[in-house]
Amino acid sequence: MKIVKTIKEVREIVKLWKKENLSVGLVPTMGYLHEGHASLIDASVSGNDKTVVSIFVNPMQFGANEDLDSYPRDLNHDSKLCEEHHVDLIFNPEPNEMYGKDFYTYVNMNVLTEDLCGITRPIHFKGVCTVVAKLFNIVQPDNAYFGQKDAQQLAIIKQMVQDLNMPLEVHGCPIVREIDGLAKSSRNTYLSTEERQSALILSKAITLGQSLVENGERDCSKVLTSMIDLISSEPLAKIDYVKIVDLKTIQPVNTIEKPILCAMAVYIGKTRLIDNFIFEEV
């Protein structure tokens, strides 16, 4: 496994692979890798001849008061995990390698970016789309892997690939959870022992909402009220949003008639956590 920091090196390595007609999978990450990331890597390794993992804490997707500086980083740990999961190449650029002084081009999307996390994080998805488009151009993968953990992001990337005719396939991978239900996240490391316990309220609310919908409830306000009541019973939890939206357009719906995404962002203390479920068998 190689670790490179420049776009030039990635291009040279991928060019050799393409010459041999080898397929390439890309797993974009911000590092501090855990089993959630590993599941994406495993999907890529089993579906491609070569797998590239990018590790880049992308400044462009963080708002002014967000956790860019404190975001956890550990390249030693990450490279060990990648090696164990048979990754071929890690791309770990510095910000100035990705964004020169004279950087003026952004990928902006309407509609899908406007609700859910787009409300509290208004510049986030512009940063995500721009960096992912750049990574696609740099690595030129045949396949790219994203987690359903960030379901709005997954919908947005699929839309971007469709709208901009990007020549690759985007694969969504299921949410990987801790044994007690908490969705794995690099940000879980911010939680104190007490907060870690309180954070279970997210997955408990997801389980509750999912069982209501699976048992036939189609009125979104009833599902959401039950979930919000449960989360509100946890003193350390502060709701950013709990919503049900159309899975493809990320637009709010009142009745479940098409595939939906039920998504939430909840602060546990100062840490903002997200979780969701999708329901497709309408």
Task: From 85-93, 184-192, 200-208, 272-280, give the range in contact with ligand AMP by CB under 6 A.
Answer: 184-192
Question: CA-CA distance, 186 to 20, in Å (whole number)?
Answer: 36
**Min CB(147)–ligand AMP separation in Å:** 2
Q: Is 124 tagged catalytic?
A: no
Longest CA–CA span in the chain (Å) reads 58
Of residues 5 and 15, the one with the C-beta less far from ligand AMP: 5
Q: By C-beta, is 82 or 183 nearer to ligand AMP?
A: 183
Residues 125, 121: Cα–Cα separation, whole Å: 8
Q: Based on the shown chain and the rule CB under 6 A, indicate whether residue 201 belongs to the binding site for ligand AMP.
A: no
Size, binding site for ligand AMP by CB under 6 A: 17
| Options 24, 39, 262, 275; binder of ligand AMP; rule CB under 6 A | 39
Query: What's the CA gap between 147 and 218, in Å, rounded?
Result: 26
Question: What is the spatial distance between Cα 146 and Cα 36, in angstroms, rounded to a whole number?
Answer: 10
Give the active site residue among 37, 77, 86, 171: 37
Q: Give the Cα separation of 10 and 272 in Å (integer).
A: 34
| C-alpha–C-alpha distance, residues 82 and 89, integer Å | 9
CA 59 to each of CA 74, 130, 204: distance values in angstroms, whole numbers, following the listed order: 17, 11, 32
Using CB under 6 A as the binding rule, whether residue 184 contacts ligand AMP is answered as yes
Q: Does 61 bind ligand AMP (CB under 6 A)?
A: no
**CA-only gyration radius of the chain, Å:** 19
Chain residue at closest Cβ approach to ligand AMP: 147
Q: Note whether 173 binds ligand AMP by CB under 6 A.
A: yes
Catalytic residues: 37
Rule CB under 6 A: which residues touch ligand AMP? 29-30, 36-37, 39-40, 146-147, 149-150, 173, 175-176, 183-186
